[in-house]
Chain A
Amino acid sequence: MLKLPSAPQSNGGKIEDEDAISRREFLTSALKMAPSVALFVGLMRVSPLKAAEQALGMIPGTNYDPSEHLFAYVVDINKCIGCGMCVKACALENKVPDHFFRTWIERYVVSEKGEVIVESPDGGINGFKPMTPGFNVSKSYFVPKLCNHCANTPCSQVCPVGASYTNQDGAVLVDSKRCIGCGYCVQACPFGSRFINPLTRTAEKCTWCYHRITKGLKPACVEACPTGARLFGDMNNERDPIRKIVTEEHIAVLQPEKLTKPRCYYLGFDKETR
């Protein structure tokens, strides 16, 4: 690729004008600069990005190799009782500031005519109270929500500093030291799963309790659910029950038309669920 400079030619070529550069002069000088240009382009390519993308292995301080796992999350809408224990556990586990939520529960109340009421009082952290919808209820259900950990994620695509990213194990995470708090990702997420933490001024979201799953524990919300409405597991593990559910059950994802390929799947999904 390197263009070697040709032998120096000091006074060749005809000179028609005192001030003009001859073609030969120009080409010679250009060729002399070629090595530095080539060096520049070469160094651009050998950036740490490419070289290190192959460098994989255990996360320091753990026995956990991200390349060996591919996580998935299943929410069974039919089992959720709206107790809000998951929201409470999440807030305690991750020190989520008051009135912000990494996971929350929505209550859908639908009439025979198709009227829909959706509510989530304080994210459902204190459970739900009886309500009077003002119409004859034909069906109603709770929908727990969290970051969908999309494979084709819009949020990390818009991050200008590489603070939001998708890891090999499927987890979408935010590097709070790198985040500048611009909020692009908050707007980009079609599920409303992100917020700017008012204390740190950085973007925050569900991490699937990354500090727990890297040590073989389940996320706090999954551990807290008394009815088994929330499930978490490793698709790369043949014996993991979640693999059977995702591959064999009738599952759906939120807003499939956005083509974000969520890794959170829903059982018992209703068409009114947004």
Chain B
Amino acid sequence: MGKGHHRHLIRAAILLGAAIFLFFVVRALLIPKSFGLYGHFRGENLAEQASLPIVHGNPNSCAECHDDVWKIKLAGRHAAVPCQDCHAPLTQHVTEDGVQPMPIHKTFALCARCHQKLEAKPKTFPQIDFHEHVVSKDKNLENEEICLSCHQPHSPMGEK
């Protein structure tokens, strides 16, 4: 057997070795370190997801400062309505720069979201035809805050 064949094999082996080495180098570079920590994904992502900023506060945290309004709300028909729905997320109010004024929505567009008489709303839910309701009360519908002229938003029908 000729010597040349050995050289072929050595060359092939070197090439294969280099390919294997390259494979592992590229693989190590492409796959993030925490990949597979919890499953077929980058484990660090869980900590990234968990560390996103919270915008809406704990619903009970409003009571810490606004106990008076909180009690009125709890006694009324709007007891289950979260404060941050009609106002704004807590983090817009309590910020790192101190307490900022809380936006207050007073228009009937807000009230209408829940109470406009609509196809598809559960029959038992209190809903009104706004035009009919306001006209029957001899009020002016052009006033956007018309609802608040009769209803106290935190307890719209008095104590339940």
Interface residues of A (CB under 8 A from B): 15, 18-22, 25, 29, 33, 36, 40, 43, 47-53, 55-56, 59-62, 64, 66, 78-85, 88-89, 92-94, 107-109, 126-131, 133, 137, 140-142, 162-168, 173, 175, 177-178, 207, 210-212, 214-215, 217, 220, 223-228
Q: Assuming the A-B contacts A22-B1, A81-B114, A214-B50, are A167 and B38 also in contact, with contact meaning beta carbons closer than 8 angstroms in the complex?
A: yes
Q: Is B36 an interface residue (CB 8 A)?
A: yes
- Pair B48/A177 contact, Cβ less than 8 Å: yes
- Selected contact of B16 from candidates A36, A51, A66, CB within 8 Å: A36
12 A-B pairs with C-beta separation under 8 A: A18-B2, A21-B1, A53-B36, A59-B46, A80-B122, A89-B56, A93-B54, A107-B120, A162-B40, A211-B52, A212-B56, A215-B54
Contacts of A215 in B (CB 8 A): 50, 54
* Cβ contact of B120, chosen from A36, A52, A108, cutoff 8 A: A108
Bound Cα distance A25, B120 (Å) = 83
What A residues does B5 contact at CB under 8 A? 19, 21, 25
Question: Given known contacts A92-B56, A226-B85, is B41 in contact with A165 (CB within 8 Å)?
Answer: yes
Is A210 within 8 A of B39, CB to CB? no
Are A133 and B119 in touch, CB under 8 angstroms?
yes
Please state if A226 and B55 are interface contacts (CB–CB under 8 Å). no
Known contacts A173-B45, A178-B45, A223-B59, A130 near B20 by CB under 8 Å:
no
- A223–B82 touching, CB < 8 Å: yes
Smallest CB-CB separation from A95: which chain B residue?
B55
A61 contacts B47, C-beta separation under 8 Å: yes
B53: interface (CB < 8 Å): yes
* A62 to B39 Cα, complex, angstroms: 19
Say whether B47 contacts A178, CB under 8 Å.
no
Secondary structure call for the B interface = loop
Among B36, B41, B84, residue most surrounded by chain A Cβ atoms (within 10 Å):
B41
Closest 3 CB pairs of A and B: A165-B41, A127-B113, A211-B52
Within 8 Å CB of A107, what residues of B?
119-120
Which listed residue, A52, A84, A131, A137, touches B36 by the CB 8 Å rule?
A: A52
Which residues on A sit within 8 Å (CB–CB) of B45? 173, 175, 177-178
Count how many pairs of residues, one from A and one from B, have CB atoms less than 8 Å apart in the complex.
Answer: 177
Q: CA of A22 to CA of B51 in the docked complex: distance in angstroms?
A: 65
Indicate which residue in A162, A207, A212 contacts B35 across the interface (CB closer than 8 Å). Answer: A162
Residues of B within 8 A of A92 (CB): 55-56, 89
Interface contact B122-A81, CB-CB below 8 Å: yes
A226 touches B84 (CB 8 A): no
Closest to A228 in B: B80
CB < 8 Å neighbour of B55 from A47, A168, A220: A220
Docked Cα-Cα span, A79 to B32, in Å, equals 45
By beta carbon, the residue of chain A nearest B125 is: A81
Residues of B within 8 A of A207 (CB): 49
Interface residues of B (CB under 8 A from A): 1-2, 5, 9, 13, 16-17, 20, 24, 31-33, 35-43, 45-56, 58-59, 80-82, 84-85, 89, 112-114, 116-122, 125
A62 touches B47 (CB 8 A): yes
Which A residues lie within 8 Å of B51 (CB)? 61, 211
Contact, CB under 8 Å: A93 / B55? yes
Residues of B within 8 A of A131 (CB): 119
Contact B85 A140 (CB under 8 A): no
- What A residues does B81 contact at CB under 8 A? 226
CA distance A108 to B121 in the complex (A): 11
| Interface contacts beyond A81-B114, A162-B42: sample of 9 additional A-B pairs, CB < 8 Å, sorted by A | A59-B46, A64-B50, A80-B122, A82-B120, A82-B121, A127-B113, A127-B114, A130-B119, A178-B32
CB of A46 to closest CB in B, whole Å:
12
Query: Smallest Cβ distance from B133 to chain A, in angstroms?
Result: 14
Q: Which residues of A contact B41 (CB under 8 A)?
A: 162-165, 173, 175, 178
Report Cα–Cα, A166/B38, bound state, in Å. 10
- The residue from A66, A79, A128 contacting B38, defined by CB atoms under 8 A apart: A66
Cβ of B42 and Cβ of A127 under 8 Å apart?
Answer: no
- Docked Cα-Cα span, A178 to B113, in Å, equals 39
